[in-house]
């Protein structure tokens, strides 16, 4: 099993540009989570999907952020326009159930730098 796959692994962009992060969850997992990690704020949940349906997006910082899961094997997190304060490591994770009491499997993360 390849695990959770994220791309790109590193992204450097300029303020105002659109950024799209991609995630392929583990096959058979029906929950998918997007997290953001910074030194100041720690690991924050942005949004999670269950069976491709967004369940809770209360962690999405503002309208500049959007996430989609068009099918069970693919999800995107888009930031438009990007700002320097969006610089962070973005993790995608998947789990075979709700994720509340089961193991979550994290991808390697995308390190985003917005100049």
Partner 1 sequence: GQSLEQPSEVTAVEGAIVQINCTYQTSGFYGLSWYQQHDGGAPTFLSYNALDGLEETGRFSSFLSRSDSYGYLLLQELQMKDSASYFCAAGNTPLVFGKGTRLSVIA
Name the residues that contact partner 1, by CB under 8 A.
33, 42-43, 45, 48, 56, 91, 93, 98-109
Q: Which is nearer to partner 1, 45 or 72 (CB)?
A: 45
Distance in Å, CB of 60 to partner 1, minimum: 13
Q: What values do phi and psi take at 56, rounded to 5?
A: -145, 115
Nearer to partner 1, 28 or 42 (CB): 42
Q: How far is the CB of 11 from partner 1 (least distance, A)?
A: 16
For 9, 64, 111, 112, the CA distances from 107, given in Å and listed in that order, are 10, 23, 12, 15
Q: Write down the least CB distance from residue 89 to partner 1, Å.
A: 9
Strand ranges inside the chain, DSSP E = 5-7, 10-13, 19-24, 31-38, 42-50, 53-56, 65-71, 74-79, 88-95, 105-106, 110-114
Pick between residue 41 and residue 63 the one whose CB is nearest to partner 1: 41
């Amino acid at each position: 099993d390849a695990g959770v796959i994220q791309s790109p692994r590193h992204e450097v962009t300029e303020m105002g540009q659109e950024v799209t992060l991609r995630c392929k969850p583990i096959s058979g997992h029906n929950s998918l989570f997007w997290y953001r990690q910074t030194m100041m704020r720690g690991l924050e949940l942005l949004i999670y999907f269950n069976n491709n349906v967004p369940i809770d997006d209360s962690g999405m910082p503002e309208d500049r952020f959007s996430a989609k899961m068009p099918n069970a094997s693919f999800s995107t997190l888009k930031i438009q326009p990007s700002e320097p304060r969006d610089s962070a490591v973005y993790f995608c994770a998947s789990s075979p159930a709700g994720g509340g009491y089961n193991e979550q499997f994290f991808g390697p993360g995308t390190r985003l730098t917005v100049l």
